[in-house]
A and B are shown apart, each in its own frame.
Chain A
Amino acid sequence: MTLREQIQQVIDDEPVAIFMKGTPERPACGNSLRALQALWSAGAPITAVDILPDPQIRQELSALSDWPTIPQVFVKGELIGGADITEELYASGDLGRRLDEALGSEREQVVKTVAVG
């Protein structure tokens, strides 16, 4: 599989995917941390991909998503936005509602990291 196909597979297969700088245990950027905290507070399961190991990851991701900045959050394959939108949706309660609709309200909250490339 090409790198782009691997990225697409994470987006398609994971309930909630975040492409971030660093990992949930060790976020390397304030914006990635903001998005993570909003997702966690909203009760989202989180699959994280660290984009830092290879600059190609970010290039391929942004080409796929038509979104220039990091982090990028996807729910059930759909781009939710970056840190600002994720925080805004959490604050308004819309993030919780979207997660309930997409994943059900009884969801399990697991955090994991997957590698691409």
Chain B
Amino acid sequence: MATDAIRALLEQAFPNGSVDVLDRTGGGDHFHVTVESASFEGLSLVEQHRLVNRALAAPLADGTIHELRITTKGTP
């Protein structure tokens, strides 16, 4: 799956946030996503990562994302 498709899913889920997607190995299945969004404010890290996992539920479930690293930030 291209980074663009993952970026699109995250931008849809976090419309006012900023999204960065890195293909860690160049193989199109190991990604590091960084999302900065006001939606994270007041949430625990587990809850923040749940929101990201939910946005990427389909590619996670069908195996197109083999490995996912997540960094979340509230908007400063």
Contact = CB atoms under 8 A, between A and B. Distances in A.
Q: Is the interface of B mostly helix, strand, loop or mixed?
A: helix
Given A66-B50, A84-B49, A31 B57 contact: no
B53 interface: yes
Contact of B50 (A67, A83, A89): A67
B49 A85 contact: yes
Contact of B67 (A31, A67, A79, A89): A31
Contacts of A83: 69
Interface size bracket, B side: 10 to 19
B38 interface: no
Contact of B70 (A66, A80, A84, A89): A84
A44 B60 CA distance: 29
A84 B69 contact: yes
Interface in B36-76: 45-46, 49-50, 53, 57, 60-61, 67-71
Interface residues of A, number: 14
Interface of A: 31, 66-69, 79-85, 88-89
B46 A81 contact: yes
Nearest to B53: A68
